[in-house]
Amino acid sequence: MANPTDIKNIALETLALESDSIKSLSKVIDDNFVKIVETLYKSEGKIILTGTGKSAIICMKISATLNSTGTKSNFLHLSDAFHGDLGVIDRNDIIICLSKSGESEEIKKLSDYLKLNKNILIGISCNDNSLLKDISDMFILTEIEKEACHNNLAPTTSSSCHLAIGDAIAMSLQYIKGFTPDDFSNFHPSGNLGKKLNLKVGDLIDKKRVPTVRIESNIEEVITEISTKMYGVTAVISNDKIIGVITDGDIRRVLQKKVDIYNLKASDIMSNKPKFIGINSLAIDSLRLMKKNKISQLLVLDEAEKYVGVVHFLDLIKEGIDNE
C-alpha cells in the first residue's frame, strides 16, 4: 500500500501544476483571442468542436457549455467525420479543432475538406510548430511545461488548459450576447439547477393552510393555529390587514419569562415586522431572504398583496433548494 503522505503530495502537485498552467494562459488572451471571439459571434452558422482521444471529450464539454449559454454548437468526433459525419458541417459553420500535438492524420484530411467547403478553422494546440497551426485560419497556443502524469504521457495538464480556453471563449460569447439568467433557465428546465431558475414561491405554498389569528386572539388560539397549520408561524390580522407575526419561538420566549400566559393576547406576543415575499418570486429568492433575516418562514402575498400562505425553509429543502 502506498504511503498516504505520498498520495497527498502527488495530488497536490497535480493540482498545482494544472492551476499554474491555466494561469499561464492569460498571455494568450490578447488581440488574437478577441478576434477569434468576435469572429465566432458574427458567425451565421454553428460552432463545430472536433478532436480525437481525450481532446474529443473536452470538445463535448465545450460544445455543451456553448449550447447552454446561447451559442449553437455541435460536437464532431474527428475520426468519425470521415465515415459520413462530415455532413453535420454547413457552409457557414466555424470549426474549432483541439489537439495536443496538432499532428494527427485526421487533421490533414479535415483541412482538405474545409478548404473545399470554405469553412473557417480555429486550431487550439500545445504545439506551436504543428500541422494544425499551419492549416488554421486562427490559432491559440496552449503551451504547457509538462503533463501532470508522472510519465508525462496521459493528457492531464493539456486537457485542463484546453477546457479552460473553451470556457473562456464560451463566457466571452455569453457576455457579448447579453445572455441573461432568464435565457439560461429556458435551457435548464429540469434538475436542481432548473428549480433554482424556474421554481416559484407559488409552486410551494398550500393555499388551504393559511395560519391566521386576530389581534385579540388569546394564547390558546395562537398555539392551536400554529400547531394545526404546522408552519411554526401565524400571521396576526386586524381589519383584514396583517399587522404582525407570531412564531413558535415567540411562544417559547414568553413561557421562559414565567408570566401569566392565560391573560396574553396575540398583540402582546407578536412581532410587528413580518417578512413577506411575492407569490411569483423565485423560490431561491425566498431562501436568500430567509438566510439574510435568519428566519425559517415567510408570509406570501399574491399580486393584489393578499395574504395567501406561508413558505417554509423545509419546503425548499424538500425541493433540493438548500445550498448556495
Q: In the CATH scheme, what is the code of domain 201-318?
A: 3.10.580.10
pLDDT of the residue at 251? 86
Task: Of 106, 110, 141, give the one whose Cα is nearest residue 124.
Answer: 141
**DSSP strand E in 179-322: where?**
212-214, 233-238, 241-247, 276-278, 297-301, 307-312
* Residue 236 half-sphere exposure toward CB, CA atoms < 13 A: 23
Q: Do domains 4-179 and 201-318 have the same CATH topology?
A: no
* pLDDT tens digits for range 41-85: 999 999 999 999 999 999 999 999 999 888 999 999 998 888 878
Question: Which percentage of the chain shows pLDDT scores above 70?
Answer: 93
pLDDT of the residue at 70? 86
Average pLDDT on 124-145 reads 95
Sheet containing 94-99: give its strands across: 73-77, 47-51, 94-99, 120-125, 138-141
pLDDT bracket for residue 322 (50, 70, 90):
low
Q: DSSP secondary structure string, 148-172?
A: SSTTS-SSSHHHHHHHHHHHHHHHH
Task: Of 103, 139, 109, 106, give the one whose Cα is nearest residue 121.
Answer: 139
pLDDT bracket for residue 143 (50, 70, 90):
very high
Per-residue pLDDT at 116 exceeds 90: no
pLDDT of the residue at 225? 92
Mean pLDDT of the chain: 89
Per-residue pLDDT at 1 exceeds 80: no
- Burial (0-12, 13-18, 19+ Cβ within 10 Å), 220: exposed
Domain spans in the chain, listed from the N-terminal domain onward? 4-179, 201-318
Per-residue pLDDT at 270 exceeds 70: yes
Domain covering 4-179: architecture: 3-Layer(aba) Sandwich (3.40)
Contacts of 118 (CB under 8 A, 6+ apart): 91
* pLDDT tens digits for range 164-221: 999 999 999 999 988 776 666 555 555 555 656 678 899 888 888 999 999 999 988 9
CA angle, residues 36, 188, 68, in degrees to nearest 5: 10
Amino acid at the residue 96: I
Per-residue pLDDT at 293 exceeds 80: yes
Give the global pTM: 0.66
Report the 10 Å Cβ neighbour count for 80.
Answer: 15
d(CA 25, CA 290): 41
Task: Of 137, 49, 41, 45, give the one whose Cα is nearest residue 90.
Answer: 45
Report the 10 Å Cβ neighbour count for 216.
Answer: 11
Per-residue pLDDT at 154 exceeds 60: yes
pLDDT of the residue at 184? 62
Higher-scoring residue by pLDDT: 62, 268: 62
Which triple of cell numbers denotes residue 186? 429556458
Per-residue pLDDT at 295 exceeds 80: yes
CA angle, residues 159, 163, 166, in degrees to nearest 5: 140
